[in-house]
Amino acid sequence: MSGFVTKLAAALIGGFLVGTGINGFLVPHHLLDGGIIGIALILHYYLDVKTGLWMAVLSLPLSVYAWFKERNYFYSSFQGLIATSFFIDWLSPLKSEFLLPIWLSSIIGGVLIGTGVGLMLRFETSTGGTDLLAYMIQKASSMNLGTAIFLIDGLVVLIGFKALGAESLLFSVLTIFIGGSVASIFYEKL
C-alpha cells in the first residue's frame, strides 16, 4: 500500500510541476515541450483545444501498448497521465501570471517540467506518452533516459517548426534540453 501512495504522491507533485511549467512559462511564448505534450500544445496553439485533454487522448496508444508489455508500469503511468492531464488543464489560467522574457521562461519551464517528469520516472510512474516510451527505450538499451527524452522531444519540435518560427524553435529546444537534463538527474540521482 505504501508503494501505491508513494507513486500517487509522485504523480500528483510531478503533474503539478509539469502543469505549472507548461502554462506559466511555455504557453505565454508559444513554446513547445516535446513528445505527446508538444503535439497537444501544437493543437492548442492552432485549434485552441485543451492541452491536457488532448495529451491524454494522444497517449492512449502508448498506454494500450504498456498494458500488454508491462502491466505494472501501465497502472503507474496511467495515474501519472491522469494527474498531469488534469493539472495542465486546471492550471491553464497561469498563462497570464508570469510575464517573463522568453529566455527565462524557457529555462524555468524546462526545470519545472524536467523536475516533474524526473520525479515521476524515479518512482516508476510517468506522464504516459513519450516519457513512457523513453523509459522503455532506456530499459531496453544503454541509452541515457535524458538522451532518449531529448531525441523524442526534439523530433516533435522539428515537426512543429512551421508553427513556431525560428525564435520559438530555438527556445523550445533549450527548454527540452534543460527538461531532459533535469529529468535525467532526478531519475538517476534522487
Give me the pLDDT at residue 189, please.
65
48, burial (CB in 10 Å: exposed 0-12, middle 13-18, buried 19+): exposed
Give me the pLDDT at residue 176, please.
87
Q: Which amino acid is at 123?
A: F
The C-alpha angle 165, 108, 124, rounded to 5 degrees, equals 105
Give me the pLDDT at residue 181, please.
87
* C-alpha span between 118 and 187 (Å, rounded): 5
Give me the pLDDT at residue 94, please.
94
Give me the pLDDT at residue 23, please.
97
135 phi and psi, to 5 degrees? -60, -45
Give me the pLDDT at residue 1, please.
59
**Series of mean pLDDT values for 10-residue runs along the chain (190 residues):** 83 96 96 89 91 92 80 78 95 92 97 93 79 74 76 79 82 90 78
pTM of the model: 0.88
Give me the pLDDT at residue 154, please.
75
